[in-house]
Amino acid sequence: MHEQRQRQEDGGDGTARGLPAGSTCGATDAEAVVFVCATCAAPLTGPLTRLPEVPEAPYYAWWEADEPGPSPATVPSGRYAIETQPYGAPLVVTEVSRPAMPRYATISDVHGQFLVSQGPRGNIVINPGDARGLELEHASVACCGASPEGGMNQVCACGTPVATLSSDCCMPYELHLSADHVRAERP
C-alpha cells in the first residue's frame, strides 16, 4: 500500500509529479527543466538540473556569525532535488525525540511534546537564489528569516501559494516548491 501511494505521489515512474518522464539522477543540461506556477504558468525558476538526492545542509556556525542571515544554501545554484520525506506543516506530536523534518532540529510544543512533520513528500528543493517572482506571504516566528513550520510561505505573482522558504540563520537555507502547485517544463 505504501509503495502504491508513493508511486501516486511521485508520478508512478520514480519522478516527482510535474517532472517529465525520464528525469533521472545525474541530469544533464539537455534535461534541464524550468518550474512554473501550475495556476498561471509564470516561470518560477530558470533552467535547473536534477541532483540524485537532497544534499546534506552545509555546516554553518550561525551563533558565531558577525551578522544574522541565512546559512549557505543546501542545494547548489542551477540544481534541484526531490525531497522524499515529509516536510513542512502540519506538525504532529510524536513520542520519539527526532528531527522534525529533514536537515532540521527537534521541535517541541508548549507542553514539551516533540513534533514531527506530516507535510507533503515530493517537494522540489532548490537554492532560494534560483527562485523568480515569488513573494513572502507570511513567516512563522523565527529570529531573522522564514521558518517552514507554518507551511507554504511563498506565493506566485498570481497569488497562488507555491513554496516554503526556510531562511532563518539556524535552519537549512532552502526553498521547497510544492509538487502540487508547480509543474516542470522544458526550457
One-letter amino acid at 26 equals G
Grid coordinates of 133: 517572482
Q: Is the pTM of this model over 0.85?
A: no
Task: Give the total residue count for the chain.
Answer: 187
**In angstroms, rounded to a whole number, what is the distance separating the alpha carbons of residues 38 and 98?**
34
Predicted confidence (pLDDT) per residue in 5-24, tens digit: 333 334 433 444 445 444 43
What is the per-residue burial (b if ≥16 Cβ within 10 Å, else e) of 128-151?
bebbeebeebebbebeebbbbbbb
By CB atoms closer than 10 A (0-12, 13-18, 19+), residue 54 is: buried
Predicted confidence (pLDDT) per residue in 137-176, tens digit: 876 767 788 889 989 999 999 999 999 999 988 899 999 9
Q: In this structure, what DSSP letter does residue 7 have?
A: H
